[in-house]
Each structure stands twice: as structure tokens, then as C-alpha cells.
């Protein structure tokens, strides 16, 4: 028996990271390049990441605060996803100029539209600063002292790295739960203009129906341009700014892809948790995901009901509904995937082996400690998640607090109000209020509920009565009155029922929840620092990659279909033919522009490629990432994953985890035939 165990143990420890799994740090490219080249990549390590010469990393940006983009010309032209530029496209839209609906195409530089608040950041370099961050650390120090030392050292590193100014910003990030520290130095540009976007019937084709699914036919791209001052430095928007000249931009390949081709995604994945214990997986898959799915189903049903009735409401709530439904669908795939893969049971078995091994080491008792912490945190965390999905889902409560917090600043105040009322439909919010408050009252144990909440509910007798009274008394539904508010109205504002409710929850959060949650989360974080190191010591031959944290990463794999269910195989490439198959003027998500029908009917574009699947390990934040072929040229833009594989944030399954990319040739097709903006081709470089 013992020998079999040892044999299994040896087998387990020498298995490398599974095929195509991994979000690798570009600075450590040397550890991956051999494998990448063995799989077909033709470039060298320094072509991918280098601080001494221009390389592919210089053509990749963090777009906004949660997407990726890539440079495609020496005039700062940038591609990202339609859903990443959605907010900007929407802000420029009105019923008269509905760029969401009709698309937008600048025909020259003058027509490009500026976007207040939008930034893109280039990574200048990244550096392992573990030793510098921990300089001065002594083993006798408490965790508090260690944390403050880290803070002081990090601040010095950041200020040193950014002292040249010029749009430089930096941060020190803990990797592997604080076993390593990396400095990331960026240059941020802030004059970014909209150049082109297809109509939503192309850029969002399939809508929430096809989201996270294959076969997919979404033309999910938007085109922007980075502007700089005359010295090519970051600058606030100004008419005098000129197109930015990047160190590097991607050449575009028109060769296309086929099953088996090498692919490489260079981008900024947001967040993953590969190294958590069975308890956390169980919480996510069996409690958190199901409860959030249920709450969002209620909210979406309410929004959809009113959106179907009115085109104005449809525009107002399109972006809000898309973001509510996006995670809602992802969680469904995640919970199912975790079950299918029996991740809880597998983690438990792994932990069993870890425990055996850990006996007599400094890791002994660690898993027991984590188990206890998770059990303690559970009721607080459930209440917290419930709060974020219910109380925070009521628009009027968020708006009221935002406005109150900015009462002294007339400009900010009126901005907030304008933005809010442009997209507010009170009836939706009233119904959401009833549904969400009811859910909170029914599902959160009374001793966890804020006293004010309980008192109000009791006094009104029903959530409906409370809703009617609150919405009739609050001033925050009345635009005129809100715009007329002044700092001297402080008392009136503080007495408003929306503010009272929002504040009651604010206090509850700060006093009854946060202290416990922060304390427990902190203890969990520290235990993970050891557990992470423990896992690395336990499996010394395994190649570990740090969890995603919106820093630049490399994921490589190949174009490949998958089997979503018994008896079904999905091939990896979709074409215009499939768009025509789905086309239906009566279904909002599948109603394509007439031009596209006409082009197809005229013949010759049946095989026009639209999207493709590959095995690259990606997550939220990788939207808009360049997908690169063996020659280092741009073949597509990543925009999604298949929902059956969304548990890859916790556990990757090479059989079903697939990223979905737009085929770059469909983007070119759109520029030419839909936007009639072929002038943009002049500044692009085509590799083949």
C-alpha cells in the first residue's frame, strides 16, 4: 500500500502544468519560450518581452480599467472589443445619433470623438522586487510590522520608478499571495478617441443569447486612437494633440487560422484563483454562484420586461442589463463546470495528500486552520454578497449617496445627476427595489440585518408599502429638485428616505460586517501565503503561474474545437454563413443590418470567417487582447470564453476550456463593407 502511495505521489509531482493551461509572466518568458517554440511559435524570447528593444509587449495596452487593446499602426490606431468601448459608444449616442444602433465611423482624424476619463496604459517594464520590498524584515516582526514595512518599501520603489513624470505610474503587486512581489511600471495616455465601431447588430450580434457560447458570430470590435502631445508624451485632451507614435505595433495577418495552429494571447487577465482549498471552491460553486444567479435572474426579468416595451428604455438599460447578465451567465457555467470536474472532491483528495506530507513540517495544521477560518467567515460573507447583489442593485440608493457625498461640489454634482437621469427608468428601479429588499429580508437571518431595516419593514408591514412611500417622498427621483440642491440643503438631504436607507446599510457594513470580514480575510490571506508556498514545496517539479491580477500575461495554445456534450463536437471556425442562418428580423439579438444581407446575397462571402476557438487560458480582462500567430502577427481579437469552460478561473480543463476570438479578417471586412472606411487600411501593415 505504502509503495503504491509513493508511486502515485511521484507520478503526481512530476506532471507539469496541463497542456495550454497557464497565464505566464512575460518577464519570465525564458522559462516558456522553449515550449512555445516546440508548439510552433517562431519568434524569440526578446521579441515577446524585452526592456532594451521594442517588442510585442510595447504594442499591448491595458484599455480603460478592465480590458486589453493592441496597437495596429504607427499613428496610434488601436483595436479592442465593442463591449470594451461600449460605455464610450453609448455616451456619444442619443436617439438622433444612435451610434450603438447604427455604428460610428470617423472619416478622418477631425471626426474622431474624444472620451473623457478613458485611458490606456503601456507596460514599460516589470521587475521582481521581492528582496527590495522585504528589505529590513526580521523574523521576529509581527504581520502588522511586516505589512507596514512592505508599504513603506513599495512606496519608495513606486516613487523612484515614476519620478520622471510623463504619465508614468507604478504599482507593486503581491504575487503568489505575497510570496513574491513585482513592480509594474506603466505609461498612461489619456487622450483616446473613438475611430470606429460597427452597429450593435454586428458588434453585439447574438447579444446575451449567444454570450459565452459557441457557435459565435459576434463582430466584437471597436477602433480607437491614442493621442499625445507634440513630443509624443501623454497629455490631457487638446485639439493640438497628435496621433501617438508607438514603439511597436502589430502587423496584421490575413492568412487566417485552422485547427491545430499555434496561438498566443498577450493581455491583462483580471482575476483567477487556482490555488484555493476545497472549502472555497465549495462556497463558490454551491452557495455564492447559485444565490447570485437567482438574484440576478429576478433583476434581469424586470429590466427585460420594460426594455421590450420601449426603444428609449432599451437604450437606457442596454449597458446595465448586459453587465448584469454577463456574470450571471458565466456563474452558471462555472458552477456546472466545477460539479462536472468534481473539483471539490479532487481538491479534498489533494489536501489529504498534502496533510500527510505536511506532518512534522511548518505546514502542519495549516489546512485545518483555513477550514476553521472559512467556517467562521461564511455567514458574514453570505450577508456581504447578498448586500452587494440586492441593496447595491437599487439605483436610487447609489445615486442618492453619490450626490450627497458631492453636495459641496456643484460641477461634480450636476455631472452625476445628468449621467444618472439620462439612463434612469423609475419603474424598473421600483420593481427592483421590491424584489431585492424582499430577497434580503427573506434570506438573511434577522440578527444579521441592520436594525433600521428591520424597523422600517415592520412599520410598513410590507416591502411594497415601503417602496411606494420611499419613492413618493425621496427627492432623488426629481431631476429639477436634484439639480437645484445646494450645500445648505444638507439637512433635507440627510433626512431623505433613500439616504436614510443607504446610510443604515453603510453603517451596518462598516460596524457589523467589515470588522469581522476584514479580520477573517486578512487571516485567510496570511494562511494562503503559507499554503501557496506549501503547495510549491509539495510539488517541486510543477510549474506554477501566479493568479491573474490584471497584469500583463502570456497564454499560448492552439486553435481547437471541443465537445460540449456527448455526441456533439464543435468545429473551431465560424463564418458569415452562420450569421445568415441565425438572421431573423423579429429577434432583436439576431436582426442584422440590411447591408449585410445584401452583401451576402450578392455572393462570394459564404466562407467569410467570423470567429474562432482556441485553447488559450484567458479570463475577464483578456477582452480585446491580441491573438497572435506563430509568426507574431495579429490574427484575431480575444473577446470571450465558452461557458462550459468558465470554471477555468479556478480549474482549467483542456477538454473544454476555449477562448473565443474575432477573426481579424471579419474586422477588415466590416471596415470595408459596413463602415466604408477603407482609408484606415493605409496606415495598417499587412504581413501576408
Check residue 620 and report its DSSP letter.
T
Is residue 618 part of the contact set for ligand GLU (CB under 6 A)? yes
Contacted by 322, from ligand GLU, ligand ARG, none: CB < 5 to 8 Å by type = ligand ARG
Site for ligand ARG in 284-323 (CB under 6 A): 322
> What is the distance between the alpha carbons of residues 115 and 121, in angstroms, rounded to a whole number?
15
> Between 262 and 590, whose beta carbon lies closer to ligand ARG?
590
Contacted by 208, from ligand GLU, ligand ARG, none: CB < 5 to 8 Å by type = ligand ARG
Give me the helix-helix angle, 426-443 and 289-309, nearest 10°. Answer: 160
Place of cell 493581455: 267
State in angstroms the smallest separation of the CB of 658 from ligand ARG.
Answer: 13
83 catalytic, yes or no? yes
**Could you tell me the three cell numbers for 306?**
420594460
State in angstroms the smallest separation of the CB of 216 from ligand ARG.
Answer: 10
Is residue 274 part of the contact set for ligand GLU (CB under 6 A)? no
Is residue 326 part of the contact set for ligand ARG (CB under 6 A)? yes
Site for ligand GLU in 48-107 (CB under 6 A): 67
402 catalytic, yes or no? no
Given the rule CB under 6 A, which of 71-79, 187-195, 595-603, 618-626 is the region that contacts ligand GLU? 618-626
> Between 271 and 361, whose beta carbon lies closer to ligand GLU?
271
Catalytic: which of 50, 58, 83, 429? 83
Give 227's strand partners. 191, 243
Question: Which segments of 536-633 are extended strands (E)?
Answer: 553-558, 562-565, 568-570, 573-575, 609-614, 626-628
Catalytic: which of 154, 574, 623, 648? 623
Contacted by 621, from ligand GLU, ligand ARG, none: CB < 5 to 8 Å by type = ligand GLU
> Between 204 and 413, whose beta carbon lies closer to ligand ARG?
204
The single residue among 21, 208, 210, 640 that binds ligand GLU, judged by CB under 6 A, is 640
C-alpha distance from residue 415 to each of 65, 313, 402, 406, 624 (Å) = 21, 21, 11, 10, 29
Is residue 316 part of the contact set for ligand GLU (CB under 6 A)? no
Residue 568: closest CA among 214, 159, 129: 214
Largest CA distance in the chain: 80
Is residue 221 part of the contact set for ligand ARG (CB under 6 A)? no
Q: State the number of CA atoms in the 13 A half-sphere of 18 facing the CB.
A: 13
Q: How many CB atoms are located within 10 Å of the residue 360 CB? A: 7
Check residue 290 and report its DSSP letter.
H
The single residue among 621, 626, 632, 636 that binds ligand GLU, judged by CB under 6 A, is 621
Contacts of residue 464, defined as CB under 8 A and 6 or more positions apart, other chains included, come to 434
**Could you tell me the three cell numbers for 77?**
490606431
Residue nearest to ligand GLU (CB): 623
Catalytic: which of 47, 208, 220, 503? 220
Is residue 659 part of the contact set for ligand ARG (CB under 6 A)? no
> What is the distance between the alpha carbons of residues 579 and 599, in angstroms, rounded to a whole number?
12
> What is the distance between the alpha carbons of residues 320 and 470, in angstroms, rounded to a whole number?
23
The single residue among 288, 318, 623, 661 that binds ligand GLU, judged by CB under 6 A, is 623
> What is the distance between the alpha carbons of residues 90 and 84, in angstroms, rounded to a whole number?
11
> What is the distance between the alpha carbons of residues 252 and 73, in angstroms, rounded to a whole number?
10
> Between 331 and 380, whose beta carbon lies closer to ligand GLU?
331
Site for ligand ARG in 337-396 (CB under 6 A): none
> Between 83 and 413, whose beta carbon lies closer to ligand ARG?
83
512 catalytic, yes or no? no
Give 611's strand partners. 574, 662
> Between 118 and 391, whose beta carbon lies closer to ligand GLU?
118
Is residue 619 part of the contact set for ligand GLU (CB under 6 A)? yes
The single residue among 69, 178, 534, 620 that binds ligand ARG, judged by CB under 6 A, is 620
Answer whether 636's CB lies under 8 Å from 612's CB.
Answer: yes
Residue 635: in which H helix or E strand, if any? strand 634-641
- The site for ligand GLU (CB under 6 A) is made up of 67, 618-623, 639-641
Active site residues: 83, 220, 623
- The site for ligand ARG (CB under 6 A) is made up of 83, 204, 207-208, 211-212, 322, 325-326, 620, 623, 640
Amino acid at each position: 500500500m505504502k509503495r503504491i502511495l509513493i508511486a502515485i505521489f511521484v507520478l503526481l509531482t512530476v506532471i507539469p502544468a496541463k497542456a495550454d493551461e497557464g497565464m505566464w509572466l512575460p518577464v519570465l518568458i525564458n522559462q516558456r519560450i522553449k515550449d512555445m517554440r516546440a508548439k510552433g511559435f517562431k519568434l524569440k524570447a526578446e521579441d515577446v518581452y524585452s526592456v532594451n528593444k521594442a517588442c510585442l509587449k510595447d504594442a499591448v495596452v491595458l484599455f480603460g480599467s478592465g480590458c486589453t487593446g493592441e496597437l495596429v499602426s504607427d499613428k496610434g490606431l488601436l483595436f479592442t472589443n465593442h463591449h470594451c468601448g461600449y460605455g464610450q459608444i453609448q455616451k456619444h449616442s442619443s436617439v438622433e445619433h444612435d451610434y450603438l444602433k447604427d455604428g460610428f465611423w470617423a472619416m478622418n482624424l477631425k471626426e474622431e470623438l474624444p472620451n473623457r476619463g478613458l485611458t490606456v496604459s503601456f507596460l514599460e517594464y516589470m521587475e521582481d522586487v521581492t528582496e527590495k520590498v522585504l528589505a529590513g524584515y526580521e523574523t521576529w516582526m509581527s504581520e502588522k510590522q511586516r505589512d507596514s514595512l512592505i508599504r513603506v518599501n513599495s512606496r519608495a520603489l513606486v516613487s523612484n520608478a515614476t519620478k520622471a513624470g510623463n504619465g508614468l505610474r507604478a504599482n507593486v503587486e503581491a504575487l503568489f499571495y505575497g510570496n513574491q512581489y513585482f513592480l509594474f511600471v506603466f505609461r498612461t495616455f489619456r487622450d483616446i478617441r473613438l475611430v470606429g465601431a460597427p452597429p450593435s447588430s454586428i458588434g453585439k450580434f447574438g447579444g446575451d443569447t449567444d454570450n459565452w457560447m459557441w457557435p459565435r458570430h459576434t463582430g466584437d470590435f471597436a477602433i480607437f486612437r491614442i493621442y499625445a502631445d507634440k513630443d509624443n508624451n501623454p497629455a490631457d485632451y487638446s485639439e493640438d494633440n497628435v496621433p501617438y507614435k508607438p514603439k511597436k505595433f502589430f502587423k496584421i495577418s490575413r492568412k487566417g487560422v485552422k485547427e491545430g495552429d499555434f496561438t498566443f494571447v498577450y493581455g491583462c487577465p483580471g482575476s483567477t484563483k487556482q490555488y484555493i482549498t476545497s472549502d472555497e471552491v465549495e462556497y463558490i460553486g454551491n452557495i455564492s454562484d447559485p444565490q447570485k444567479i437567482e438574484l440576478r435572474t429576478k433583476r434581469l426579468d424586470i429590466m427585460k420586461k420594460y426594455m421590450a416595451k420601449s426603444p428609449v428604455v432599451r437604450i437606457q438599460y442596454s449597458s446595465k442589463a448586459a453587465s448584469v447578465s454577463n456574470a450571471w451567465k458565466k456563474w452558471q457555467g462555472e458552477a456546472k463546470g466545477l460539479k462536472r470536474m468534481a473539483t471539490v472532491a479532487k481538491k479534498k483528495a489533494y489536501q489529504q495528500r498534502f496533510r500527510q506530507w505536511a506532518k512534522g513540517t511548518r505546514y502542519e495544521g495549516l489546512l485545518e486552520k483555513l477550514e476553521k477560518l472559512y467556517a467562521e467567515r461564511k455567514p458574514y460573507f453570505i450577508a456581504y454578497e447578498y448586500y452587494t447583489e440586492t441593496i447595491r442593485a437599487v439605483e436610487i440608493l447609489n445615486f442618492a449617496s453619490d450626490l450627497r457625498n458631492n453636495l459641496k461640489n456643484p460641477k461634480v454634482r450636476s455631472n452625476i445627476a445628468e449621467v444618472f437621469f439620462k439612463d434612469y427608468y423609475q419603474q424598473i428601479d421600483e420593481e427592483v427595489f421590491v424584489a431585492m429588499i424582499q430577497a434580503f429580508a427573506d434570506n438573511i437571518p434577522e440578527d444579521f440585518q441592520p436594525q433600521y431595516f428591520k424597523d422600517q419593514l415592520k412599520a410598513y408591514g410590507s416591502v411594497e408599502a415601503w417602496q411606494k412611500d420611499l419613492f413618493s417622498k425621496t427627492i432623488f427621483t426629481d431631476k429639477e429638485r436634484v439639480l437645484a440642491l445646494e450645500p445648505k440643503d444638507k439637512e433635507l438631504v440627510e433626512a431623505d428616505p433613500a439616504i436614510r436607507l443607504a446610510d443604515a446599510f453603510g453603517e451596518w457594513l462598516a460596524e457589523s460586517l467589515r470588522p469581522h470580514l476584514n479580520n477573517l480575510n486578512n487571516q485567510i490571506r496570511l494562511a494562503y501565503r503559507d499554503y501557496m508556498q506549501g503547495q510549491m514545496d509539495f510539488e517541486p517539479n510543477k510549474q506554477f503561474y501566479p493568479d491573474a491580477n490584471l497584469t500583463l500575461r502570456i497564454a499560448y495554445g492552439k486553435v481547437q474545437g471541443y465537445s460540449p456534450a456527448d455526441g456533439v463536437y464543435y468545429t473551431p471556425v465560424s463564418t458569415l454563413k452562420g450569421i445568415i442562418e441565425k438572421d431573423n428580423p423579429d429577434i432583436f439579438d439576431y436582426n442584422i443590418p440590411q447591408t449585410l444581407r445584401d452583401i451576402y446575397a450578392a455572393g462570394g462571402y459564404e466562407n467569410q470567417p467570423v470567429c474562432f476557438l482556441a485553447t488559450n487560458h484567458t479570463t475577464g480582462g483578456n477582452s480585446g487582447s491580441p491573438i497572435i500567430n506563430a509568426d507574431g502577427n495579429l490574427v484575431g481579437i480575444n473577446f470571450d470564453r465558452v461557458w462550459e469552460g468558465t470554471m477555468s478561473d479556478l480549474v482549467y480543463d483542456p477538454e473544454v476550456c476555449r477562448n473565443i476570438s474575432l477573426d481579424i479578417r471579419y474586422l477588415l471586412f466590416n471596415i470595408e463593407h459596413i463602415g466604408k472606411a477603407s482609408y484606415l487600411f493605409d496606415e495598417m501593415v499587412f504581413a501576408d
